Chains A and B, each alone.
Chain A
Amino acid sequence: MTELLTIALPTGRLGKQSIKLLQEAQILQDFDGPSRKLKILDQKNSIAYLFIKPSDIATYVEKGVADLGIVGKDTLLEQQKQVYELLPLGIGKCVFAVAGFEEANMQSEKDTLVVASKYPNIARDYFQKQGQKIDTIYLNGSVELAPLMGLSDVIVDIVETGSTLKANNLQVLETMMDVEAVLIAGKSNYQFAYPRIQEIIRKLKEVIQ
């Protein structure tokens, strides 16, 4: 009997896109649609799926609880987990950007630029390379509010359509990098599940645009 493979999928919008991709690639075939279950089993393919908060995916994979995971590159860059990044998946595409008011002065007259972000490590690395001192303020959501309320000069965040920025009179000041969802594997389980992982990569490559 084929050994069970475990794949960690993110909850939310990226999770829905991931399921669609896995179904198109005929990796996920035995699925009744969304439910509140946190773990489902596709018996036909001998794969278990875990539905996990996006920020926890890489932890489950790194620790070997899941063999594979789908996670945004943004989260991966921020967390610096020891995992293999096997394949960009062409879903969850967006850009990392510095955003703020149009008149925000990036080369701040103050010595230190105040940056609010869910991604303090990425923000720190980016501005360090530019030689700009910053103070990072970690926020867990609605980051756009920070410059509106004077909490920060700018924000560092992922931008998909830019509609939230626009609705709050903010705009992209600098594009930092493109990001998308990637398929990841833990270093140990990759070794033990190698043939099945390669088969999944092959099937995904056939449908990724």
Chain B
Amino acid sequence: MEFTNINEEMTYIVKRNNFIKDCSDFLEENNYIKVDINYFEPYEEFIEQNKRIKKASMVKVMKPDGNVAILRPDITTNIIKQVVNKWEEGSRLKLYYDANIFRQGKGGLETIRQFGLEQLGSSSFQAEKEVLNTVSSLLDRLKVDYRIRLGSSALINALFDALNLEKNLVYAIKSAIQAKNQADLDALLSRIETSKEKNFLQEILTLEGSKQSVFEALKRMDIPSCVQDALDDLSFVTKELKQTKRLWIDLSLIPEYDYYNGLVLEGYIKKLPTPLFQGGRYDSLTKQFGQSINAFGVSFDFQALMQEVINND
């Protein structure tokens, strides 16, 4: 942001600092502890775990030993690595962070400030309920008009595991689903043999709406057994949430990162082209680093949230 004079700039900085303090105070009142985040990630390891992330978007740094590191493009991976090695059975952590992520944008290097909360070690439904209700309470307190889109990576993963397709085809099908492009999806699915899983994928773009309308639609479908657990989980957790009018079920939701393995979500406000917040369950990521820990988190595009709050003021 550019200012015409120093007084305007100082006024803005005071508003920003108050806003940061408000958010931090709120999370600390809810027993979240602030953590620091490392700046660097090993490049090879990161792309191995996140195959659909565009390599060109990462900010690479050459280390003296010739290995390549990247400036963190994501916070969650970073937190897990810090926690996993010291993990003790029965621990329960409620963490939050306020840190920049980095990427190569069209106009050069971009820094994006993220603010997020994570719960590690809590039973899965409890963490999901608590985190989502905390997010709702924070946004209500900030008077933000938002919508939460809920989906299930467990459901998407189960379908693709059962279909066992070649990886380029999986990538293309996921891209068509992410773009809500039924025509491309139909064309891609025409290449594979008929099965319950294929039929479910063919209908997946229609499976969005209020919880009631989606589960009504599911009753009329022949549901593959591999997705039943994921649907039961989704049904159960949504019973426990506040602000149900702002909730939207979208079974076609596929997040940018592949490490999610359960409930996933994206939050939107009007006229913001990217999600205001996003997150989900990522137990499988913790397993990749050596410990299977229940883990669920949400991160906010902090600049966008702050702008929305200041605009509404």
Q: Could you tell me which A residues sit within 8 Å of B by CB distance? A: 62-65, 82-88, 186-192, 194
Given A87-B183, A188-B272, A189-B271, 7 more contacts at CB 8 Å? A84-B180, A84-B181, A85-B179, A187-B274, A188-B268, A189-B270, A190-B180
Instruction: Tell me whether A82 and B268 are in contact (CB under 8 A).
Output: no
B269 CB–A CB distance under 8 Å: yes
Instruction: Tell me whether B273 and A82 are in contact (CB under 8 A).
Output: yes
Number of A-B contacts (CB under 8 A): 49
Which residues does chain B contribute within 8 Å of A192, judged by CB atoms? 147, 268, 270
Report the minimal beta-carbon distance from A1 to chain B, rounded to whole angstroms: 17
Instruction: Tell me whether A64 and B270 are in contact (CB under 8 A).
Output: yes
Which residues does chain A contribute within 8 Å of B72, judged by CB atoms? none
Q: Bound state CA distance, A82 and B273, in angstroms?
A: 8
Q: Given A85-B181, A86-B180, is A191 in contact with B248 using a C-beta cutoff of 8 Å?
A: yes
Contact among A64, A83, A85, A88 for B272, CB-based, below 8 A: A64
Tell me if A's interface is mostly helix, strand, loop or mixed.
mixed
B149 CB–A CB distance under 8 Å: yes
Instruction: Tell me whether B181 and A64 are in contact (CB under 8 A).
Output: no
Instruction: Tell me whether B274 and A82 are in contact (CB under 8 A).
Output: yes
Q: Which chain B residue shows the least CB distance to A83?
A: B179
Interface string of B62-101 (1 = CB under 8 A from A): 0000000000000000000000000000000000000000
Q: Which chain B residue shows the least CB distance to A184?
A: B179
> Which has the most chain A C-beta neighbours within 10 Å: B248, B270, B273, B274?
B273
Instruction: Tell me whether A187 and B147 are in contact (CB under 8 A).
Output: no
Shortest Cβ-Cβ A-B pairs, 3 listed = A64-B271, A84-B180, A85-B181
> Which has the most chain A C-beta neighbours within 10 Å: B184, B209, B248, B270?
B270
Instruction: Tell me whether B147 and A191 are in contact (CB under 8 A).
Output: yes
Among residues 162 to 207 in chain B, which have CB atoms less than 8 Å away from a CB atom of chain A?
179-184
Q: Bound state CA distance, A88 and B269, in angstroms?
A: 27
Contact among B180, B184, B248, B273 for A188, CB-based, below 8 A: B273
Q: Bound state CA distance, A87 and B181, in angstroms?
A: 7
Which residues does chain A contribute within 8 Å of B149, judged by CB atoms? 191
> Which has the most chain A C-beta neighbours within 10 Å: B179, B269, B272, B274?
B179
Which residues does chain B contribute within 8 Å of A194, judged by CB atoms? 209, 248
Interface size classification for chain B: 10 to 19
Instruction: Tell me whether A186 and B273 are in contact (CB under 8 A).
Output: yes
Interface string of B231-243 (1 = CB under 8 A from A): 0000000000000
Instruction: Tell me whether A188 and B271 are in contact (CB under 8 A).
Output: yes
Contact among A83, A85, A87, A191 for B268, CB-based, below 8 A: A191
Report the minimal beta-carbon distance from B8 to chain A, rounded to whole angstroms: 25
Which residues does chain B contribute within 8 Å of A84, judged by CB atoms? 179-181
Q: Bound state CA distance, A168 and B180, in angstroms?
A: 40
Report the minimal beta-carbon distance from B195 to chain A, rounded to whole angstroms: 26
Contact among B183, B209, B268 for A187, CB-based, below 8 A: B268
Instruction: Tell me whether A62 and B248 are in contact (CB under 8 A).
Output: no
Q: Bound state CA distance, A189 and B270, in angstroms?
A: 6
Which residues does chain B contribute within 8 Å of A188, judged by CB atoms? 268-274
Q: Bound state CA distance, A180 and B148, in angstroms?
A: 33
Q: Bound state CA distance, A190 and B248, in angstroms?
A: 12
Instruction: Tell me whether A62 and B273 are in contact (CB under 8 A).
Output: yes
Q: Bound state CA distance, A83 and B179, in angstroms?
A: 7
Instruction: Tell me whether B273 and A85 are in contact (CB under 8 A).
Output: no
Interface string of B200-238 (1 = CB under 8 A from A): 000000000100000000000000000000000000000
Which residues does chain B contribute within 8 Å of A85, judged by CB atoms? 179-181, 183-184
Report the minimal beta-carbon distance from B275 to chain A, rounded to whole angstroms: 8
Contact among B147, B179, B273 for A63, CB-based, below 8 A: B273
Q: Which chain A residue shows the least CB distance to B179?
A: A85
Q: Bound state CA distance, A84 and B149, in angstroms?
A: 15
Which residues does chain A contribute within 8 Å of B272, judged by CB atoms? 64, 188
Which residues does chain B contribute within 8 Å of A190, judged by CB atoms? 180
Which residues does chain B contribute within 8 Å of A191, judged by CB atoms? 147, 149, 248, 268
Which residues does chain A contribute within 8 Å of B274, judged by CB atoms? 82, 187-188
Q: Which chain B residue shows the least CB distance to A81?
A: B273
10 inter-chain pairs at a CB distance below 8 angstroms, sorted by A residue, are: A64-B270, A83-B179, A85-B181, A87-B182, A187-B274, A188-B269, A188-B271, A190-B180, A191-B149, A194-B209
Report the minimal beta-carbon distance from A69 to chain B, rounded to whole angstroms: 13
Which residues does chain B contribute within 8 Å of A186, judged by CB atoms? 273
Q: Bound state CA distance, A191 and B147, in angstroms?
A: 7
Q: Which chain B residue shows the least CB distance to A61?
A: B273
Q: Which chain B residue shows the least CB distance to A186?
A: B273
Q: Bound state CA distance, A192 and B184, in angstroms?
A: 25
Which residues does chain A contribute within 8 Å of B183, judged by CB atoms? 85, 87-88
Q: Bound state CA distance, A83 and B248, in angstroms?
A: 18
Instruction: Tell me whether A65 and B180 are in contact (CB under 8 A).
Output: no
Q: Bound state CA distance, A144 and B179, in angstroms?
A: 32
